[in-house]
Structure formats: structure tokens, C-alpha cells
A and B are shown apart, each in its own frame.
Chain A
């Protein structure tokens, strides 16, 4: 799971589309809130992101910050560290997340699926 800034979801015109590269390599993404939100909205949004990442981290998923120097990534990391969790810095879209994939759990299912 790659944690990405809003600029990955919404790249500026003419800029590189990193999200497509991550998608092609099999990464799922969790987006940080967009910059410029009111502080209380940003706090609530970051808390929601932290809750979700905690679920992945506690179940052994590889979770990495795509842009560790992003200010919002720093604030997210602060929330996670306070809860005793830590994110890896940096993702490699060329290799994808497969090398540390969750053993015994397929995230790619068949044609029948229900729930969630």
C-alpha cells in the first residue's frame, strides 16, 4: 500500500502521472488529504487515514510513503508514531509491492465476490 499526496491523484496538467505507474506495478494507494483544508478537517481526515493504515500495518502489509518529505506525510507519520506505528519511506513502482506481499492472503480474487 502506497501512501500518496493529493498531487498523485490530481497531477497538474502536463506533469508526470505517478499514480498510473503505481497502479501498473500493483500498488494500492491511500491518499493524503489535499493541501489547504481547514485545520480541523485536515486533522479528521488524517486521523481517518491513520486508522486505515494501522489496520494494514497491524496485519503485516507493506505500507510506504511515496513522498516522505511531503508536509502532510510528516503530519501523518506523527499520528502513527504516537500510536506506535511507523511507515516505510519510499516506494518503487518498478518492482511493486510483491516482494513483501501478505503470505496466505490473496488480494486478487476471482469473479465472484461479495461484501465490503
Chain B
């Protein structure tokens, strides 16, 4: 390994103040995005830099769409993925994530799930849903992609598996799948949550 940068960061092991961040897969691997949908070559470096700066522990969640639809899939909405088979697939992928989240919560860590707002699978506050969307992918995706309030299917599955324990974590979506994506705004939002904004007794 030739090119490395030495970071000075605190140890995250056995540190109850540390935030364990479960990242949507594509934040570390934009190759997983829908065809021509990536915003960077590989790793979302501004997000990584922010998490490094805050000493966060990083865990990468799987991309349910990649393993299900492959790398050449088109952009889709929740209704297209919302089948028993896809929900079972999400559940299979989410179960080991849920187990790790439970362990981190039991260790007293703060847990933050970082999804992708606007995604039919990884959305947290915003997903994409439309009863009529489908058929040939000939709709202009930059004009009428139906972003709607709600969580994506994987996020919904993960939080469902966690049950009441989901109340002990925070979840936030970075709006990389939104047309008006504003990186500065999204990083500020994430930074605020990492600092404890919105939590009782916020640090």
C-alpha cells in the first residue's frame, strides 16, 4: 500500500461517547448506484472526511438493489421493488445489520443510520414512490421522479427488525438522490446530528 494518509483520531473501541455510523453502501462505493447515477467515482470523500473528523466508527450497510437488480438496473420507485421476494431479500440483508446495531446499542454507543434520501430502498425521510411509474424507463428522470415523504424499503425493514430498539438510534438521509442535492447543506445536517442535535441532552 503506497499512498496513505496518517490520521490522528481517538480510539473508538469501548468508548461510549463514540457514534457508530451505519452508512448506505453507496456512500463508500458509488459503483453501486443506478446506471449513470453516481455523484463521485468511489467514496463520498466529504462524508468520509466529516466522519473521520468526528471520530465516528464506520460500518457499511449492504446495497439491496445492487444484489437484487445488478449494476445495470434503471432508476425505480418503491412500488417496483415492493414485492415479497424483494422484501425477503431486504430482510436477509438487514438481519446481520440489525444484530450489529443491537450489539452497538448494548455497548452503550450512539448509533446513527445514514441512508440516502430519495432512494426507494435506502431513503430515510424521503423515498420515491408512484403508483403509475413503470414500464419502459423512458420518463425524463430529471423532471418527474416522484420523491415522496417516507422511508425506503430496506430502511423500513431494518427499523422493523429492530422494533423498539429502533427508538434508541438516529436515522438520517443524505439527499444524494434528490435533484436539488446540496452537499454543503447535507453535510451540515449530518454534522449537526453527529454533534447530538435534536437529542435529549444534546452535546
Contacts and interface: CB of A to CB of B under 8 A. Distances in A.
B5 interface: yes
Interface string B24-50: 011011111111111111110100100
Given A108-B38, A115-B128, A59 B71 contact: yes
A12 B8 CA distance: 9
Contact of A44 (B41, B60, B92): B92
A93 B43 contact: no
A44 B95 CA distance: 8
Contacts of B62: 48-49, 51-52
Nearest to A59: B71
Interface string A9-35: 111111111111111111111110110
A116 B142 contact: no
Main secondary structure of the interface of B (DSSP, over half): loop
Contacts of B63: 52, 116
B177 interface: yes
A13 B13 CA distance: 10
Given A20-B7, A34-B59, A116-B121, A52 B2 contact: no
B43 A22 contact: yes
Contacts, number: 208
B42 A114 contact: no
Contacts of B92: 44, 47-48
B4 A17 contact: yes
A37 interface: yes
A64 to B, nearest CB: 12
B105 interface: no
Given A23-B45, A55-B66, A10 B58 contact: yes
Nearest to A43: B96
Interface in A54-80: 54-56, 58-59, 61, 66
A116 B37 contact: yes
B73 interface: yes
Which among A41, A47, A61, A112 has the highest number of chain B CB atoms within 10 Å? Answer: A112
A17 B10 contact: no
Given A18-B1, A115-B145, A107 B41 contact: yes
Given A20-B5, A45-B96, A114 B145 contact: yes
A115 B5 contact: no
A38 interface: yes
B37 A28 contact: no
B74 A17 contact: no
Interface of B: 1-12, 25-26, 28-43, 45, 48, 52, 57-60, 62-63, 65-67, 70-77, 92-93, 95-97, 99-100, 118-121, 128, 141-142, 145, 147, 176-177, 179, 181
Pairs A-B, 8 closest by C-beta atoms: A115-B75, A28-B29, A28-B42, A23-B43, A112-B142, A116-B34, A16-B4, A51-B67
